[in-house]
């Protein structure tokens, strides 16, 4: 497919309760590379297959959670067009100057009806993945420590006004509805999985009364064996595990959910479905999220923590 608008998730800024504990988790245990730190005290990290300078930013704070998620767009003209489209739709936007986030160009920030902050940007310094661009190696041994995820893949966010958020992402930002879970009454969507590519989802939202909540940030693994290896590493370092190893029925992803030292949930995830935009969205009933294996296909169980533990 021709990608001409929003290209992909680019970064997420997470709040952690202790910065060095957070860095040890994401750098030493998960295996991201620490790139730099800025004058605000933020720490910038990247995954091994990402060519951009960073994808995860850590900030020490009194409460854990998500500050914002950024999406990369095609170019500056696309950034300006989407800024105008958001404003015409009634969404208030603001601009952050180039350099406010290191190695990153101008960012257009806006809040969606679920209470989450998003931003769009067109420029970020490309540092490569260590494999080269002429006669490249298939992988970079220097970047394969820890769990060694390939990239920051997606996030699941909880908040109110799901129908409005869904409409904004589809009608203004050009995302596609790939999959959905209905509420217990079967009258509306409870969770929507939205894609700006052919991934099973680039962002997902769940209806929840409190605004601005983070369910998890997900990191793509190269194989199911790498997901299982990540589970071994979690056990070695006593990382608290929430769910898995298992397969989702919804999105067909193979997964482990766990928590970082601040209580932010993260996922090690193997993509197993690549729907094109012309394909009909898949629908799950609320009952099937549990007994039908939508969440945990192996145990066919709806884990209470999945619905209630958030930052």
pLDDT tens for residues 81-132? 999 999 999 999 999 999 999 999 999 999 999 999 999 999 999 999 999 9
Which candidate, 156, 128, 148, places its Cα nearest to that of 222?
Answer: 148
Over its C-alpha atoms, the chain yields an Rg (Å, rounded) of 18
What confidence tier does 143 reach under pLDDT thresholds 50, 70, 90?
confident
pLDDT tens for residues 35-62? 999 999 999 999 999 999 999 999 999 9
Which candidate, 216, 288, 204, 293, places its Cα nearest to that of 256?
Answer: 216
pLDDT tens for residues 200-213? 999 999 999 999 99
Q: Alpha-carbon distance 255 to 228, whole Å?
A: 9
pLDDT surpasses 60 at 1: no
User: What's the confidence (pLDDT) of residue 3?
Assistant: 79
What confidence tier does 5 reach under pLDDT thresholds 50, 70, 90?
very high
Q: Is the preceding peptide bond at 288 cis, omega within 30 degrees of 0?
A: no
Residues known to be catalytic: 154, 201, 216, 248, 257, 267
CA distances from 152 to 193, 299, 307 (A): 16, 27, 22
φ, ψ for residue 245 (rounded to 5)? -70, 140
Beta strand 33-37 with 43-46 is antiparallel
Which candidate, 140, 36, 119, 26, places its Cα nearest to that of 73?
Answer: 119
CA distances from 269 to 11, 236, 254 (A): 17, 19, 6
Q: Alpha-carbon distance 51 to 6, whole Å?
A: 17
User: What's the confidence (pLDDT) of residue 96?
Assistant: 98
pLDDT tens for residues 26-35? 999 999 999 9
pLDDT tens for residues 151-199? 999 999 999 999 999 999 999 999 999 999 999 999 999 999 999 999 9
Q: CB neighbours of 172 closer than 8 A, spacing ≥ 6?
A: 82, 85, 86, 89, 91
pLDDT surpasses 70 at 2: no
pLDDT tens for residues 233-291? 999 999 999 999 999 999 999 999 999 999 999 999 998 889 998 999 999 999 999 99
User: What's the confidence (pLDDT) of residue 307?
Assistant: 87
Q: Which domains does the chain show, CATH number per domain?
A: 6-143 (3.10.180.10), 151-308 (3.10.180.10)
């Amino acid at each position: 497919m021709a990608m001409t608008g929003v290209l992909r998730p680019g970064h997420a800024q997470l709040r952690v309760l202790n910065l060095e504990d957070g860095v040890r988790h994401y750098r030493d245990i998960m295996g991201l590379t620490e790139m730099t730190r800025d004058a605000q005290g933020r720490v910038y990290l990247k995954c091994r297959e990402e060519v951009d300078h960073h994808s995860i930013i850590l900030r020490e704070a009194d409460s854990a959670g998500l500050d914002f998620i950024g999406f990369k767009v095609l170019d500056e003209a696309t950034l300006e067009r989407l800024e105008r489209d958001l404003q015409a739709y009634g969404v208030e936007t603001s601009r952050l100057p180039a350099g406010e986030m290191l190695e990153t160009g101008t960012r257009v920030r806006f809040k969606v009806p679920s209470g989450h902050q998003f931003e769009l940007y067109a420029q970020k310094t490309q540092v490569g993945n260590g494999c080269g661009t002429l006669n490249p190696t298939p992988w970079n041994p220097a970047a394969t420590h820890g769990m060694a995820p390939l990239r920051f893949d997606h996030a699941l966010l909880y908040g109110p006004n799901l129908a409005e958020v869904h409409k904004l992402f589809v009608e203004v930002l050009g995302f596609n509805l790939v999959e959905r879970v209905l509420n217990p009454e079967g009258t509306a969507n409870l969770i929507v999985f939205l894609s700006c590519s052919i991934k099973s989802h680039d962002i997902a939202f769940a209806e929840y009364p409190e605004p601005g909540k983070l369910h998890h940030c997900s990191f793509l693994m190269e194989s199911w064996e790498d997901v299982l290896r990540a589970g071994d590493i979690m056990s070695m370092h006593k990382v608290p595990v929430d769910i898995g190893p298992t397969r989702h029925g919804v999105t067909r992803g193979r997964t482990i959910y766990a928590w970082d030292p601040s209580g932010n949930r993260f996922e090690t995830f193997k993509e197993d479905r690549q729907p094109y935009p012309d394909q009909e969205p898949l629908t799950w009933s609320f009952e099937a999220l549990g007994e039908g294996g939508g969440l945990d296909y192996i145990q066919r169980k709806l884990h209470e923590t999945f619905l209630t533990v958030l930052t």
